């Protein structure tokens, strides 16, 4: 009996980190690239943006947020992929008392500090931060050092928010990261109008990123702001960028999430809606 106990303990010690325990995982879309993630009891907000885009109705049409700052509840981690659209007034309404905030530039850091956040850090691609039991690896997008993605690992569950990478034929930095960092869930954009101009990747590239990361599910998000119809037409008329072909056999199942609804990600079942409440 003692020998059997020793063998069992040895096998448990030999398991890789996170293999013995499996945490829960939920994802909720707020707006565009703004999402809430729950890794077990750890609550993560990525890109908490709620206001209208610049020059609304002229260059961009805004995409309404399903939740307001007061609806997000307690936050443990706040991650910002780029500084566009951050509003200090909205940030001041978030529960940032105990949150660790990772941002791409000093301007964003200043907004968070003005909003009362005490744990703010400017990060760059390649940085690794461990907080609240979550391992956060900062990924490149290929669009500059202040345009980031975030790979999260906690209790055997993995999520990668790819940020806003350009098309892979413009820069493949995000693709190289995906190949080296498997993720159960990938969150990536499908901005077809901007993909034509070589600004942000489209749906085919998003599927390629998910395949490279061997993801089970691809949460496809649109942009926080879409070009107006005349601007989109102009982009298509000026640029002629062929879209990459998606993989013939995609293993990652695409999910077009309803804003404001939790999706529970089980290991052996498709994502299930888990109620509209954000808290």
- Tokens 């039991």 belong to 133
- Tokens 């926080």 belong to 224
Q: How far is it, in rounded angstroms, from Cα 265 to Cα 15? A: 23
Buried b (16+ CB within 10 A) or exposed e, 169-181: ebbbbbbebbeeb
Phi, psi of 212 (to 5 degrees): -65, -35
CATH placement of domain 25-273: 3.60.15.10
Domain boundaries along the sequence of the chain: 25-273
Residue 29 near residue 258, CB atoms below 8 Å: yes
Neighbours of 278 (CB within 10 A): 18
pTM: 0.80
206-253 pLDDT per residue, tens:
899 999 999 999 998 765 555 455 544 444 444 444 444 545 455 788
Kindly list the distances between the CA atom of residue 209 and the CA atoms of 66, 87, 206, in Å, as whole numbers in the listed order.
27, 30, 5
Going by their DSSP bridges, the two strands 119-122 and 100-103 should be labelled as parallel
DSSP letters spanning 165-229: PPPTTT--HHHHHHHHS--SEEEEE--HHHHHTTSS--HHHHHHHHHHTT-SEEEEE--SEEE-H
Burial of 16 (0-12, 13-18, 19+ CB in 10 A): exposed
Specify the pLDDT at position 63: 56
DSSP 8-state secondary structure symbol assigned to residue 244: P
189-206 pLDDT per residue, tens:
876 544 444 456 777 888
Closest CA to 243 of 207, 195, 188: 195
148-164 pLDDT per residue, tens:
999 999 999 999 999 98
């Amino acid at each position: 009996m003692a020998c059997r106990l020793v063998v069992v303990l040895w096998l448990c010690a030999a398991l890789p980190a996170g293999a013995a325990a499996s945490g829960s995982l939920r994802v909720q879309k707020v707006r565009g690239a703004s999402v809430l993630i729950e890794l077990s009891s750890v609550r993560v907000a990525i890109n908490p943006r709620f206001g209208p885009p610049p020059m609304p109705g002229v260059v961009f049409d805004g995409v309404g947020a399903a939740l307001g700052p007061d609806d997000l509840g307690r936050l443990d981690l706040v991650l910002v992929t780029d500084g566009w659209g951050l509003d200090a007034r909205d940030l001041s309404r978030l529960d940032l008392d105990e949150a660790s905030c990772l941002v791409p530039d000093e301007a964003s850091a200043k907004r968070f500090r003005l909003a009362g956040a005490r744990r703010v850090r400017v990060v760059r691609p390649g940085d690794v931060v461990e907080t609240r039991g979550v391992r956060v690896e900062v990924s490149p997008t290929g669009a500059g050092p202040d345009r980031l993605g975030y790979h999260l690992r906690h209790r055997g569950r993995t999520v990668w928010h790819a940020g806003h990478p350009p098309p892979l034929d413009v820069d493949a930095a995000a693709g190289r990261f995906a190949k080296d960092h498997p993720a159960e869930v990938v969150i990536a954009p499908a901005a077809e109008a901007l993909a034509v101009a070589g600004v942000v990747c489209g749906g085919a590239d998003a599927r390629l990123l998910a395949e490279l990361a061997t993801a089970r599910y691809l949460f496809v998000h649109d942009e926080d702001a879409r070009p107006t119809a005349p601007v989109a037409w102009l982009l298509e008329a000026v640029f002629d960028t062929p879209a990459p072909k998606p993989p013939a056999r995609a293993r990652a199942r695409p999910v077009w999430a309803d804003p404001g609804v939790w999706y529970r990600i089980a290991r052996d079942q498709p994502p299930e809606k888990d109620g509209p409440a954000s808290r």
